[in-house]
Amino acid sequence: EDKVVQSPLSLVVHEGDTVTLNCSYEVTNFRSLLWYKQEKKAPTFLFMLTSSGIEKKSGRLSSILDKKELFSILNITATQTGDSAVYLCAVEGNDYKLSFGAGTTVTVRA
Amino acid sequence: DGGITQSPKYLFRKEGQNVTLSCEQNLNHDAMYWYRQDPGQGLRLIYYSQIVNDFQKGDIAEGYSVSREKKESFPLTVTSAQKNPTAFYLCASRSPGQGRRDEQFFGPGTRLTVL
């Protein structure tokens, strides 16, 4: 069975801090890794990663994948209260099946 | 506007009743998915379908059933065999292999409560 483990489970930071979220995985026939942000509704897409070592950036968020060590990190710099959310990591394996981790809850205090 | 719709937004049912959750997409996506989310937890895959008239069990398929008679529609039935059905249910769709437009799009979700 495919496995996705996110860490930490939760963290609290102050505005302006930088956070790093981790996602490790075991999957048969890896195709891609995706990051989502979930507030009090459905998840919204952040990044899709398929190649090792290529950083994807969107504003203050960035992510990178290491296919040899089977993990990805999501960085958020200069955090704002609007970054408070659950961040979900998902991995695509065989038959386009997507498996999600339990998520990391980020709380940014003003 | 293209997107995924789920209905109803909130659903209450009595124990022992079957209930069907609707999911429709007009994005022309081939693959559709059903997930369940419990408080404080991530998404767990119930069923997924890559193509019309075909679907596969996910990690927690017991007590659920699906059909995929049309590309646009992927309804989920929560049967009385599901021991703990109260949860937030999310439907999603995507077109694998489309490169940058490959992300999975989620519907707004249905919150099911069993009384």
The model's pLDDT over A58-71, given as tens digits with 9 standing for 90+, comes to 999 999 999 999 99
Chain centroid to CA A12: how far? 16
Give the neighbor-by-neighbor strand order of the sheet with B76-78. Answer: B4-7, B19-25, B76-78, B64-66
User: Collapsing DSSP states into helix, strand and coil, what is residue A96?
Assistant: helix
Is A43 in CB contact (< 8 Å) with chain B?
Answer: yes
Beta-carbon count within 10 A of B26 CB: 13
Partnered with residue A72 across adjacent β-strands are A23, A65
Count A/B contacts: CB-CB distance under 8 Å. Answer: 59
How far apart CA A106 and CA A108 sit, in angstroms, is 6
Given a contact cutoff of 8 angstroms between Cβ atoms, the answer to whether B51 and B69 are in contact is no
pLDDT score at A96: 75
Q: Name which of A31, A41, A98 is nearest B104 (Cβ-Cβ).
A: A98
Give me the mean pLDDT over the B22-27 stretch. 94
pLDDT class for B104, splitting at 50, 70, 90?
Answer: confident
Residue B83 has pLDDT above 70, yes or no: yes
- Give me the residue label for tokens 């379908």: B49
pLDDT score at B39: 82
Q: Which residues contact B97 (CB under 8 A, 6 or more apart)?
A: none
Is A30 in CB contact (< 8 Å) with chain B?
Answer: no
